[in-house]
Amino acid sequence: MISGPAARGQGRTALLYLVPALLVLVALLGYPLYQLVTISLFDYGQEQVSGGAPLTFLGVGNYRTLFSSAKFWTVLGQTVGFAAVCVAGSVLVGAALAVLANRVRRWVRMCLFLAALGAWATPAVAGSTVWLFLFDANFGLVNHLLGLDGFSWTYGRWTAFGLVAGEVVWCSFPFVMITLYAGIRAIPGEVLEAATLDGASGWRTATSVTLPLLRPLLVVVTVQSVIWDFKVFTQVYVMTGGGGIAGRNLVLNVYAYQEAFAASEYGLGSAIGVVMTLILLAVTGFYLRALRRTGEEL
């Protein structure tokens, strides 16, 4: 292990290599973030955009309005619950298919990977539209097979959330599957063989040997899925028609869009964006710690 001046020299060299990427990130993200925070501190509506009225500095007024709104806390709870279901579904489906891919023949595994990558590569708008067609009340294949002709999945609050969650899991599980499959393949065969020789069953080997070795990767894919699913916008907006009937299927991203562009309350919409950014920064911090821990354990 390198320590002392040599380690500090390597650290400075690595930092120099990261400077170009850091400059690009600051240029692309720094100014928009600055503008987002700035707008959230003002009364910024359609009149201010058109120049018909001066800007009024509110300080934390938009945040006070936001946090005192029962709708905001309802939408935040819905966002957390929706993201939790999507993350759990993505990780469970991805992990199950990763184990399956490790046990089937090569040509079956190739077909499985191609199907998964096809789902992953499908644009969110196209995937959402296909799912809406499959679950259409009158012409949907799924409704026809289930004998539910005429049943609207997007009318009910929970059925609409379930339909959107299914589409999100469908386009998210391939990342989990491929990552965990690579982790399973990296486990030394001698370790699994030793467990078998000791008389461990397949279930015992999976829970006592494979799962502990995969735990660092599981943490990484779980936190990554949290980041993705917490900020879902396209699927919810397309499949529920902008947030569902009377806004019953709002999540924070769609709520921010409605406030900023539908209601022309750009300051309030920006405040929602800032709150989302802070939450995601906290999750990202946990993600980076998980990545560092993974690097130390693998």
Residue pLDDT, tens place only, 220-265: 888 889 989 998 999 999 999 888 888 889 999 999 999 988 888 8
| pLDDT band (50, 70, 90) for residue 158 | very high
Residue 8: CB partners within 8 Å, gap ≥ 6?
none
Handedness of CA 155, 157, 158, 163 (dihedral sign): positive
Average pLDDT over residues 7-17: 71
CB 250 within 8 A of CB 70: no
Of 189 and 73, the one with more pLDDT: 73
Q: What is 71-297's CATH superfamily? A: MetI-like (1.10.3720.10)
Handedness of CA 286, 288, 291, 295 (dihedral sign): negative
The string of pLDDT tens digits covering residues 48-58 is 777 777 788 88
Average pLDDT over residues 131-144: 90
Crossing angle for the helix pair 157-186 and 106-121, to the nearest 10 degrees: 130
Of 95 and 3, the one with more pLDDT: 95
Dist CA 132 CA 164 (whole Å): 9
Q: Which amino acid, residue 140?
A: G
Q: 């539910």: which residue's tokens?
A: 148
| pLDDT band (50, 70, 90) for residue 1 | very low
Average pLDDT over residues 270-274: 93
Dist CA 77 CA 64 (whole Å): 18
Dist CA 270 CA 264 (whole Å): 11
Mean pLDDT taken over the chain: 85
Backbone angles phi, psi at 43, to 5 degrees: -80, 95
How many residues does the structure list for the chain?
298
Dist CA 230 CA 280 (whole Å): 8
* pLDDT at residue 45 in the model: 82
Tell me which residue of 157, 180, 176, 156 sits closest to 168, measured CA to CA: 176
pLDDT for 268 beyond 50? yes
The string of pLDDT tens digits covering residues 80-116 is 999 999 999 999 999 889 888 888 888 999 999 999 9
Dist CA 205 CA 209 (whole Å): 5
